[in-house]
């Protein structure tokens, strides 16, 4: 279904970081402080929403699930394949390059973010891609056991790395219990771009349960860890394309919530 603007959508809600909203573009690089406009109706009505992030990296979202892909000289590196989104993701990639997907990164083992890999591999059956994942992800997929395509390139936890053509794909495993036992951020070092799902939902308040953090008191420490990494842009799996200002917003939000709780429900003496 094509995107059609309705009168009630003309005015954007206030950005959590004071960002400027712009039309998505598959050719123009997004600039610092910008976000894709009208993302909610676009995600519902369009096959996919595509935004160029760097010269070789694009952000794509479909029905509230976001991914990144890097276009190399011989193939494409895809971060996550959300459940039900493989066809749309490949269509988005095909709109900017004729190169095949030759590697897929699993951010963590939850099927809503990587369950589309089953369909993805059906569509890429002639030349199945590499699957890059952390050692923790490989272990948990075995324990369940998952019938999704298994990792072929297993990175040491918590800081393994591998090469994809001319770039380094680095794992940064979270230091404290989080949304999942294999929760991490993946970085394309040379592009200064990262991908981590279900921690920071860009341009949104934390969703129910603060991303399912376990326990919540350690969320701020994991956010500080993300903040310490070297990146300019990141995909949070949900919401808009993000910057470090979005991590700062979550940290400030947690401080505000804690202050209010302590004010109205003081700790017993």
Which two tokens mark 253? 């939000």
pLDDT tens digits for 232-269?
A: 999 999 999 999 999 999 999 999 988 998 899 988 88
CA distance 259 to 269: 17
DSSP annotation of 217 reads G
Residue 9 domain-assigned?
no
Strand (E) positions, the chain? 20-22, 34-36, 49-52, 57-62, 65-71, 76-79, 101-105, 130-134, 153-155, 161-164, 167-173, 184-188, 193-195, 233-235, 241-242
Whole-prediction pTM: 0.94
Long-range contacts: 125-128, Cβ < 8 Å, 24+? 127/100, 127/102
Question: Long-range pairs for 245-249 at CB < 8 Å and ≥24 separation?
Answer: 245/17, 245/19, 245/33, 246/16, 246/17, 246/200, 246/202, 246/203, 247/200, 247/223, 248/17, 249/16, 249/17
Q: Which parts of the chain fold into alpha helices (H)?
A: 39-45, 86-94, 111-114, 117-123, 135-143, 219-228, 244-264
Q: In whole angstroms, what is the distance from residue 138 CA to residue 34 CA?
A: 36
Query: Does 9 have pLDDT greater than 70?
Result: no
For 7, phi then psi, to 5°, come to: -55, -40
Tokens found for residue 54: 């760097």
| Residue 157 or residue 213, greater confidence | 157
User: With 70 as the cut, is the pLDDT of residue 211 above it?
Assistant: no
Q: Is 10 contained in some domain?
A: no
Question: What's the rounded Cα separation, in Å, for the pair 65 and 39?
Answer: 11
Mean pLDDT for 61-72 is 96
Residue 83 lies in a domain: yes
Domain-embedded: residue 1: no
Rounded mean pLDDT, 206-233:
84
User: 45 lies in which domain range?
Assistant: 18-263
> pLDDT tens across 74-85, in order?
999 999 999 999
Query: What per-residue confidence (pLDDT) applies to 204?
Result: 83
pLDDT band at 178 (very low <50, low <70, confident <90, very high): confident
* Domain-embedded: residue 2: no
DSSP-based three-state secondary structure for 233: strand
The count of structural domains within the chain is 1
DSSP 170: E
pLDDT higher at 125 or 5:
125
CATH number (domain holding residue 91):
3.60.15.10
The residue-averaged pLDDT of 84-100 equals 97
| Strand 57-62 relative to strand 130-134, pairing | unpaired
Domain contains 38: yes
CA 28 – CA 49 distance, rounded (Å): 14
Residue 7 lies in a domain: no
What's the rounded Cα separation, in Å, for the pair 178 and 253? 18
């Amino acid at each position: 279904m094509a995107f059609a603007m309705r009168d009630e959508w003309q005015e954007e809600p206030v950005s959590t970081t004071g960002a400027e909203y712009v039309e998505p573009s598959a050719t123009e690089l997004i600039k610092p402080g910008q976000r894709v406009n009208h993302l909610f109706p676009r995600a519902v009505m369009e096959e996919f929403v595509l935004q160029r992030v760097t010269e070789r990296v694009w952000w794509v979202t479909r029905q509230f699930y976001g991914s990144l892909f890097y276009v190399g000289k011989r193939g494409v590196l895809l971060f996550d394949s959300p459940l039900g989104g493989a066809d749309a993701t490949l269509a988005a990639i095909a709109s900017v390059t004729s190169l095949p997907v030759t590697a897929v990164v699993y951010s963590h083992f939850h099927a809503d973010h990587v369950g589309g890999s089953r369909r993805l591999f059906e569509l890429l059956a002639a030349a199945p891609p590499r699957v890059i994942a952390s050692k923790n992800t490989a272990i948990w997929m075995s324990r369940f056991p998952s019938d999704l395509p298994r990792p072929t390139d297993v990175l040491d936890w918590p800081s393994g790395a591998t090469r994809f053509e001319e770039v380094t794909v680095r794992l940064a495993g979270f230091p404290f219990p989080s949304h999942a036992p294999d929760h991490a951020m993946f970085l394309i070092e040379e592009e200064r771009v990262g991908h981590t799902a279900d921690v920071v939902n860009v341009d949104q308040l934390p969703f129910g349960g603060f991303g399912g953090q376990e326990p919540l008191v350690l969320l701020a420490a994991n956010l500080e860890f993300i903040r310490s990494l070297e990146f300019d842009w990141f995909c949070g799996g949900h919401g808009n394309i993000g910057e470090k200002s979005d991590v700062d917003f979550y940290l400030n939000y947690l401080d505000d919530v804690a202050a209010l709780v302590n004010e109205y429900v003081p700790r017993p003496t």
